[in-house]
Amino acid sequence: MSEKRQCCAVMRLNLDCNACCRKVRRIIINMKEVDTHMIDKKERQIIVCGRFRPSDVAVKLQKKMKRRVEILEVEDLAGGHEEGDGGQEHEPPYETTYEYSEQPDHMTTPLLC
């Protein structure tokens, strides 16, 4: 797991003002392993793509910003190395397997008092 891989990571960081966004942008631009990035101030999210370990980027941001960084999602972009039907093995949406009886239940019938 110490190997750097091509991935895209979504991280959450508390961005209070425009100065915080500028500081994060400057930190990310100076990272040589990050290719592209996007900062969403409204959602307090940072999306970075490149050849890195997400934990390394999160630790570096946390140390320089002195704020907590949460890794929300990591997507591996190494494509073409997976076995299978080309990604067609998605599970169907959740379907209920119960069958409701046609007879009225004592809990659903109104009480006439």
Quote the domain boundaries for residue 65: 17-76
Token representation of residue 92: 């169907």
Report in angstroms the alpha-carbon separations of 95 from 91, 99, 100. 11, 12, 14
Residues 37, 75: contact at Cβ < 8 Å?
A: no
Count of structural domains within the chain: 1
pLDDT digits (tens), the chain, 113 positions: 457 788 999 999 999 889 999 999 999 999 988 999 999 999 999 999 999 999 999 999 999 999 999 999 999 887 644 443 444 454 555 555 556 556 555 555 555 65
Q: Look at residue 37 and tell me if it is in a domain.
A: yes
Kindly tell me the number of DSSP H helices and DSSP E strands found in the chain. Answer: 2, 4
Token representation of residue 44: 């307090």
Domain of residue 37, CATH code: 3.30.70
Report in angstroms the alpha-carbon separations of 41 from 14, 27, 99. 9, 16, 47
Q: What is the pTM of this model?
A: 0.63
